[in-house]
Structure 1
Amino acid sequence: MSGETGVRLPRLMVAAPASGQGKTTVATGLMAALRAAGHEVSGHKAGPDYIDPGYHALATGRPGRNLDPHLVGERRVAPLLLHGAAGADIAVIEGVMGLHDGRLGTDGFASSAHVATLTRTPVVLVMDVAGQSRSVGAVAAGMAAYDPGVHVAGVVLNRAGSARNTAEIERSLERAGLPVLGVVPRDDRLSAPSRHLGLVPAAERDDPARLIARLGERLARYLDLDALLAAARAAPDLGTEEPWEPGREVVAAGDRRPVVAVAGGRAFTFRYAETEELLTAAGCAVVTFDPLTDTELPAGTRGIYLGGGFPEVYAADLAANGALLHDLRTAVRRGIPTVAECAGLLYLAASLDGAEMAGVLPTATAMTDRLTLRYAVATAAADSLVTRAGERVTGHEFHRTQATPAAGTVPAWRIDGEATGFASATCHASYLHVHWAGHPRLAQRFADAVHAAAPHAAARHVTPRPAAVPHAPSEPVPDPLRHHGDRETGPGLIDFAVNVYDGGRPEWLDRALRRSLDRVADYPDPAPARAAVAERHGRHGDEVLPTAGAAEAFTLVARLRDWQRPVVVHPQFTEPHAALEQAGHHVTPVLCRPDRGFRLDPADVPEEADLVVIGNPTNPTGVLHPAEVVRGLRRAWRLVVVDEAFMDAVPGERESLAGERLAGVAVIRSLTKHWSIPGVRAGYVVADPGVIRELAAHQPPWSVSTTAVDATVAACSAAAASEGRDRARALVRWRDYLADGLRERGFEVIASSAPFVLARLGDGTHPLLRARGIAVRRADTFPGLGSDWVRVAARPPERTRRLFAALDAPLPPPVAAVAAP
């Protein structure tokens, strides 16, 4: 740019007659091609969309920017363009929807044409010409003539076919007086994948920079870059417009630079670049953290900003990062100023599609079939962290989830008479996305609150010093693979070792067990159990095999074939490993590493493995592996066995494969723990009919007792479904109370989706707790774990407080050393 106010800016808008014409592909490819040719390019997007600017940023090496008159007001559009394009040779603006499509009922307000008029930017029309010829010229001529204030500089033909047809289209455009600035052939490789809210964000793509570079290389061959540059350089001056400056909108409340933790990574990709610039100008230090991988908020956090994204896609992974959820929950509840928009609201909710979130907001959220997509004018419902009652702001909503505030909560906004969101003096959360450049007072109030806040002190997840106790360490066990939690219990011990639901049996199950005694004179018939399981999971009867608990199922799998390379993913329940060894197989362990939160890296599984056994959620880590990861283990020559013994303790049973017909996958379930009947060996396998027939051929006759059959039928009933959901929710509360208490005491706790947690309490703690009347499950008998780890079952809080008291009691003095004679 040149001139005293920087008003000379070569620029183009890439627009189209309608959505789906290829605007993003052409605009992003043009930016990449111009950059590769040595130009400094600034990328912009008309409208509120966050995803396209992410691709623009990769193509240009600069932040992607939005230009939206609804969000920021007409007078700020040209200044924001100049601000974003500072130092650039050329600006490329990608349009939104069709050229003249704007906010409904406003005669095109906030349309691409409106933005082009406000910025006096020439327009290049991208037209998908597949299946057309001369009609292209007619449509383009109409678009160019519709609004005299919009200058259409030329056309790019997208998805062009034969040379003969393309020549016909070019003649029609010549007649309309519109030059052809590029001809892009049909090529599915030039399209970008979509999702329920549009394109997949660039941050979620594998190697997105390379993809954009290839796109630029291909588009450079099909676009007339010289002609496009000439059109951009012909753009008129912007008169007396001056660049927008964040320092003129906000002021710093002090000299120090308090940390604002901003959510980023794959799950949180939506935020405007100007938001961070305003916070920086207001004296804050913006530090990005990744809710998928970071275990605590950035050091010194005094404010939290949770923007938009796709948390519903990563719900299981977000829920699995319990350490960060605990830290975030603690920070928000302690009053750290927090702003959450859309995805941020979901993350602060109690749950998302059944996955446990931070639990700060009193609402459960879930995906729906209804898309909410609107420009909104919102009125602040009350004084809050960033608003004052009665203030009006403009924003947009774009989501398929629903959150219903609990009665008595203070809403953040009223939109079209409807109360929405949550607001308090320290937290503001709603679905509404607000561009703070258009409403800088919100940024100022948030920054002022951050300056006034005390820093959040995160609980460090460190291993405590080994307990110096006068007790001998736990004795080694002769057969670690067969050491179970029931060996840890005993008279006078409070049981945190056995993973049986601590709540007794429901009456309907007791009735079924008692009725079974009336038929024990007859040989058992597993048919009713098979039918009940098939109905529960939507399977056919020949896809189900009732078993005497999961233990029999593992034995049947071990004897099923002459396995050449059986793999067991560890640490996990050891019975499958023991069964395979007993059947004469040599087992290859695949260890999940603690530095990855004990999550499986599929690349660690040997390609030649013909059997892979994995727990989900895994015992003893409690890790819930994404279903897509487990599905990805399938091979034509391989059987994947998924131990879902604790899946019924996961609300919504998310990531379960029991209801999916997948060749080469067998799912094993146990009913004994969730329904408090370990003495009744009841379980089953679901798999394709061929595998079920093979397993049944190895099963002894009548191995499933009449009592187990009746228990299985009862556990698959409607009453069981209702009771099971209640039990799962109770276990989540108990487990979170347990995990939070252990973390507050400085112990490392692995994020769990099971009714137990794996905690690193330190060497010597297991016998110390036993001496204090507490039984926990030693973990050194699980491959991959040592004596500093223990597994602790979730119990009601009143019982868990007994465990905390035992941990909090003073350590006994060390044993005095005895000199050798």
Structure 2
Amino acid sequence: MVATPLPRLVIAAPASGHGKTTVATGLMAALVARGLAVSGHKVGPDYIDPGYHAMATGRPGRNLDPFMVGEQRIVPLLLHGAAAADIAVIEGVMGLFDGRLGTPGESSTAHVAALTASPVVLVVDISHASRTHAATVAGLAAFDPTVHITGVILNKSRSARHAEEVRSALNSIGIAVLGVLPRDAGVDMPSRHLGLVPAAERAESAATLARLAQIIEDHVDLDAVLDIGSRATPLEGAAWAAAAEITAPSQGRPVVAIAGGLAFTFRYAETEELLRAAGCDVVDFDPLTDTVLPQGTTGIYLGGGFPEVHAAELASNTSLIRDLRAAIESGVPTVAECAGLTYLCQTLDETPAVGVVSARAAMTPRLTLGYRTATAPVDSVLAKRGEQVTGHEFHRTLVTPTSGESSTGSDDFAAAWDLASGPDGFASRTLHASYLHVHWAGHPQLAQRFADAVHHRAVSTSCPATRDMLRHHGDSETGSSLLDFAVNVYAGPRPTWLDAALHRAVDDAAAYPDATEARAVLATLHGRPANEVLPTAGASEAFSLVASLRRWRRPAVIHPQFTEPHAALLDAGHTVFTVLCHPEDGFLLHPDAVPEDADLVIVGNPTNPTGVLHPANTIRQLLRPGRVVLVDEAFLDAIPGQPETLAGDRSAGLLVTRSLTKHWSIPGVRAGYLLGDPTLIADAARHQVPWSVSTSAIAAMLSCSDDRACVESRRRATELAQWRTNLTEGLASRGIPVVTGRAPFVLARVGAGVHGSLRNKGIAVRRADTFPGLGDAWVRIAARNAATAEQLFAALDDVLGVSSRAPTTLPLLAPQSVDTLS
């Protein structure tokens, strides 16, 4: 394991009120004044002290809290925050050993000092005693052998003689005094109902820091402090990285508007870092002064702060309130924590607020403070039902529902969290507002879900140009001068009997087409009654029919996959929920990622463009009463034996679409069909335009369904599997990551710009950045015979500067084996 040197120390105290924040912030400022890069950290969930740290160091203030993020993330988060710093200064919380109630000091300063193997410097207010402080320090030093107190800074000394009494007593127990701060140092850190006044609200903060830095320089032995920090042992482990915790759901850069300014100063730095890693552009807005949300806002984050202090000014910004309310009510994904929750109420201390939730917020004499374990009672924009998270509460306000009909204040919302004290907040599929503060670095799945919803919103409300991306098809990649690996049509001659049937269809074109015989033949092929089959003008018509079948409340499309179903739903006026499969696990389908209230789910099997073949039982898990599941099996006949097919499954609510276009090399003949629930088939038939299925398509359906066609279909599938194996092995031997699948194409991560470079060399492959969840580093490559594939390999060798070598370990292999043939 890698060991990383990091000079560091913890500033602790026997109890609150001894001056930890003053000394820690002053040390940071003094060390920065010496030209050092200093990283500031705070033990616990507090937001205010890190604001002062950030002002002192010029770097984001960071929190280290084992309860909030888990013990295993403390060192990685410390290394992340302290990257390129000369020293890290960690300010403690409360007394040295004070942590979560009912535990042996969990999340205490001592706990974090032990986890990070950091030396501890105590700050002791000596204003009310002298030698007795040595006894206190001695007890603290002996209490826990994993915590090493290496020095003391005496605060609020009444006189030199007073300080010397304490120093002498400490010397007798072997504890060095690193500095003595006079009682009348003249540094004022004002407080109010939730602790210190945030640095951003104090106009004189910069001047105060400058004075504080000078006081520390004058009264503390900084060289001794630096020496203590430099003797900290190297830390084992890797730095936390947001990009390792989260993925970008699409290639877009949707805007997440984050409330800031004087009224909203509380949020963890890692929250923004996770959102940026998820492909979002994070833009601050000030609810006190900005009259509209940032341009292009498709997600909103309202963190903590003091809106109650600025209630009148917030209420007077009626233009922003209108814009914010309209955005949230229109479905813009929104997360609000604590202060954000109160801002969304109808009133805040009897002053009008945004009014999105039916509740009023008001100040109370009682402080609510403490760690919480929360369970999500429903699926929401942030959490999955039954999911448990850790967080904390810190407020003096109380939110009271006003509807009288629901404990959450509105019939449109459920509770956001279930706490030991009862339900908290408001949740829906697009809004999550609660008192609970959650550190997303400890629960990155929350950030992922929010980012997924934001990207989904961006696609669902996109401009026509973005919808055009969903309409992009492989045939537009090709040209007369290009070798075609872009179009997934079998690259071989059609059977003579199929050509003859198509030619005869031209002679029959004088009459209107009648698909009755084709319907019966296809039903026999799949062992179903004729009323469970509907011939269509290719799979595209099937997608359009299903999109217009009902006024779907919440249709969901599992991506990355063929984008035509998504586009058809948008064209029908629906808002589409995107469920992303991720490369980390080979783009596997996770049924629990689909919203429980989705009434239509569309999935490809094998999926285009990943080629992943999902187990039939996994797809069956998507079925629910009142839900329709549409499975696109356009490429299943290209796999030997057609494994995992649901074409014969007669489950209620299940539809399967098939296409003859690819396997039989007839893209100009739009021939496909729907199979499934007879009630749904009948509804689709009523929406179908008369004579939409052409005479030639009917001829293809009849010809490609007899015994002779079944033999040829199996031969083609076997040949395609051989071609695919050769293609996969050739790519893998060049160190190109591929997704293991079963389709007659391969999804490969060749790197950004390679698609265009191959085109310049006369090779057409399918770009992948038009598929939600993929980017321009990916391409889809159709399976071709070995001789044709060699031309692709030669072009890749030239473009990438590589040649065939022994296969490397590929990070993107799904848990399926590469096709092999006996």
The interval holding the TM-score normalised by the smaller chain is 0.5 to 0.7
Residue from 397, 401, 404 that aligns with 1:401: 397
Residue from 239, 249, 255 that aligns with 1:253: 249
TM-superposed CA distance for 1:210, in Å, is 2.6
Give the letter aligned to residue 59 of structure 2: R
Residue from 210, 214, 218 that aligns with 1:217: 214
> Is residue 85 from structure 1 mapped to residue 82 from structure 2 by the alignment?
yes
Query: Could you tell me how far apart the structure 2 residues matched to 1:153 and 1:93 are?
Result: 14
| 1:190 equivalent in structure 2 | 187
| 2:240 equivalent in structure 1 | 244
| 2:158 equivalent in structure 1 | 161
Residues 536-557 of structure 1: CA distance to partner in whole angstroms, max 9, x if unpaired?
xxxxxxxxxxxxxxxxxxxxxx
TM-superposed CA distance for 1:108, in Å, is 0.3
Residue from 366, 369, 381 that aligns with 1:370: 366
Give the letter aligned to residue 258 of structure 1: P
Residues 366-394 of structure 1: CA distance to partner in whole angstroms, max 9, x if unpaired?
00011100100000011100101111000
TM-superposed CA distance for 1:208, in Å, is 1.9
Q: 2:254·2:458 contact (CA, 8 Å) conserved in 1?
A: no
SS of the residue 2:363 aligns to: strand
| 1:321 equivalent in structure 2 | 317
| 1:138 equivalent in structure 2 | 135
TM-superposed CA distance for 1:163, in Å, is 1.2
Residues 568-613 of structure 1: CA distance to partner in whole angstroms, max 9, x if unpaired?
xxxxxxxxxxxxxxxxxxxxxxxxxxxxxxxxxxxxxxxxxxxxxx
| 1:280 equivalent in structure 2 | 276
Q: 2:13·2:124 contact (CA, 8 Å) conserved in 1?
A: yes
Give the letter aligned to residue 229 of structure 2: A
Query: Could you tell me how far apart the structure 2 residues matched to 1:369 and 1:36 are?
Result: 41
Query: Could you tell me how far apart the structure 1 residues matched to 2:188 and 2:18 are?
Result: 11
Query: Could you tell me how far apart the structure 1 residues matched to 2:173 and 2:94 are?
Result: 23
> Is residue 432 from structure 1 mapped to residue 436 from structure 2 by the alignment?
yes
For these two proteins, the number of residue pairs brought into alignment is: 454
Query: Could you tell me how far apart the structure 2 residues matched to 1:242 and 1:190 are?
Result: 39
SS of the residue 1:48 aligns to: coil
TM-superposed CA distance for 1:189, in Å, is 2.3
Write out aligned runs for 1:512-661 (5 A): none
Give the letter aligned to residue 448 of structure 2: Q
Give the letter aligned to residue 426 of structure 1: T
Residues 239-262 of structure 1: CA distance to partner in whole angstroms, max 9, x if unpaired?
3x1100000000001111100000
Write out aligned runs for 1:91-106 (5 A): 91-106=88-103
| 1:124 equivalent in structure 2 | 121
> Is residue 45 from structure 1 mapped to residue 49 from structure 2 by the alignment?
no
Q: 2:27·2:213 contact (CA, 8 Å) conserved in 1?
A: yes
TM-superposed CA distance for 1:6, in Å, is 6.0
TM-superposed CA distance for 1:154, in Å, is 0.5
> Is residue 352 from structure 1 mapped to residue 348 from structure 2 by the alignment?
yes
| 1:441 equivalent in structure 2 | 445
| 1:714 equivalent in structure 2 | none
| 1:517 equivalent in structure 2 | none
Write out aligned runs for 1:420-499 (5 A): 420-454=424-458
SS of the residue 2:4 aligns to: coil
RMSD: 1.5
TM-superposed CA distance for 1:404, in Å, is 2.4
Residue from 411, 414, 420 that aligns with 1:416: 420
Residues 151-176 of structure 1: CA distance to partner in whole angstroms, max 9, x if unpaired?
00100000011111211110100111
| 2:333 equivalent in structure 1 | 337
Write out aligned runs for 1:757-796 (5 A): none
Seen in structure 2, the aligned counterparts of structure 1 residues 233 and 256 have a Cα distance that, compared at 3 Å, is same
Residue from 199, 203, 208 that aligns with 1:202: 199
Give the letter aligned to residue 100 of structure 1: F
Query: Could you tell me how far apart the structure 2 residues matched to 1:35 and 1:136 are?
Result: 31
> Is residue 392 from structure 1 mapped to residue 388 from structure 2 by the alignment?
yes
Write out aligned runs for 1:742-757 (5 A): none
Query: Could you tell me how far apart the structure 1 residues matched to 2:459 and 2:129 are?
Result: 62
Seen in structure 2, the aligned counterparts of structure 1 residues 77 and 351 have a Cα distance that, compared at 3 Å, is same
Write out aligned runs for 1:69-84 (5 A): 69-84=66-81
| 1:9 equivalent in structure 2 | 6
Give the letter aligned to residue 216 of structure 2: L
Query: Could you tell me how far apart the structure 2 residues matched to 1:312 and 1:344 are?
Result: 11
TM-superposed CA distance for 1:211, in Å, is 2.0
TM-superposed CA distance for 1:191, in Å, is 3.0
Query: Could you tell me how far apart the structure 1 residues matched to 2:59 and 2:366 are?
Result: 35
Query: Could you tell me how far apart the structure 2 residues matched to 1:351 and 1:26 are?
Result: 40
> Is residue 304 from structure 1 mapped to residue 300 from structure 2 by the alignment?
yes
Q: 1:133·1:165 contact (CA, 8 Å) conserved in 2?
A: yes
Query: Could you tell me how far apart the structure 2 residues matched to 1:219 and 1:341 are?
Result: 36
Query: Could you tell me how far apart the structure 1 residues matched to 2:458 and 2:24 are?
Result: 45
Q: 1:14·1:124 contact (CA, 8 Å) conserved in 2?
A: yes
Seen in structure 2, the aligned counterparts of structure 1 residues 288 and 455 have a Cα distance that, compared at 3 Å, is farther
Of residues 141-150 and 205-214 in structure 1, the stretch that sits farther from structure 2 once superposed is 205-214
> What is the TM-score with the length of structure 1 in the denominator?
0.55
Query: Could you tell me how far apart the structure 2 residues matched to 1:219 and 1:151 are?
Result: 23
SS of the residue 2:83 aligns to: coil
| 1:226 equivalent in structure 2 | 223
Query: Could you tell me how far apart the structure 2 residues matched to 1:188 and 1:144 are?
Result: 28
Give the letter aligned to residue 393 of structure 1: V
SS of the residue 1:159 aligns to: strand
Query: Could you tell me how far apart the structure 2 residues matched to 1:25 and 1:41 are?
Result: 16
Seen in structure 2, the aligned counterparts of structure 1 residues 323 and 37 have a Cα distance that, compared at 3 Å, is same
Query: Could you tell me how far apart the structure 1 residues matched to 2:101 and 2:400 are?
Result: 27
TM-superposed CA distance for 1:209, in Å, is 2.1
Query: Could you tell me how far apart the structure 2 residues matched to 1:86 and 1:237 are?
Result: 14
SS of the residue 2:257 aligns to: strand
SS of the residue 1:404 aligns to: strand
Any stretches of 5+ residues in structure 1 without a counterpart? 458-821
Query: Could you tell me how far apart the structure 2 residues matched to 1:455 and 1:32 are?
Result: 45
Query: Could you tell me how far apart the structure 1 residues matched to 2:367 and 2:239 are?
Result: 36
Q: 2:3·2:234 contact (CA, 8 Å) conserved in 1?
A: no
SS of the residue 1:154 aligns to: strand
TM-superposed CA distance for 1:439, in Å, is 0.1
Moved over 3 A (4+): 454-457
Give the letter aligned to residue 51 of structure 2: G
Query: Could you tell me how far apart the structure 2 residues matched to 1:6 and 1:330 are?
Result: 51
Q: 2:185·2:215 contact (CA, 8 Å) conserved in 1?
A: no
TM-superposed CA distance for 1:290, in Å, is 0.2
Give the letter aligned to residue 350 of structure 1: Q
Query: Could you tell me how far apart the structure 2 residues matched to 1:177 and 1:307 are?
Result: 46
Query: Could you tell me how far apart the structure 2 residues matched to 1:355 and 1:217 are?
Result: 43
Q: 2:187·2:208 contact (CA, 8 Å) conserved in 1?
A: no
Query: Could you tell me how far apart the structure 1 residues matched to 2:456 and 2:87 are?
Result: 42
TM-superposed CA distance for 1:454, in Å, is 3.9
Percent identical pairs in the alignment equals: 62
> What is the TM-score with the length of structure 2 in the denominator?
0.54
Query: Could you tell me how far apart the structure 2 residues matched to 1:367 and 1:6 are?
Result: 49
